[in-house]
Structure 1
Amino acid sequence: MIMNEQIKASEVRLTGADGEDLGIVSRAEALELARKLRMDLVCDSLFSSPPPCRLVARGAAKQQKNEASRAERLAGGAAKVKELRLTPHIEDHDYDTKLRQAEKLLASGNAVQFVVKLTNSKEGAAAKGLLERLLKDLNASGRRETGIQVSGKQAAVKVNPAQ
Structure 2
Amino acid sequence: MSKGLVKGSQEKGPMINERIAFPKLQLIGADGKNEGIVSKEDALRQAAVAGLDLVVIAEQGSEGYPIAKIIDYGKMLYEKKKQQNEAKKKQQVIEIKELQFRTKIAEHDFLTKMNQGVNFLKDGKHLKLTLTFGKGREMLTKEERGPAFFAKVDQFLTEADFGGNLMQEKEQQAGHIWSRIYYLKNK
User: TM-score, normalised on structure 1?
Assistant: 0.48
User: TM-score, normalised on structure 2?
Assistant: 0.43
Question: Relative CO higher for 1 or 2, CA cutoff 8 Å, sep ≥ 6?
Answer: 1
Query: Normalized per residue, which structure has more strand?
Result: 1
Q: Decide which structure has the larger Cα Rg and report it.
A: 2
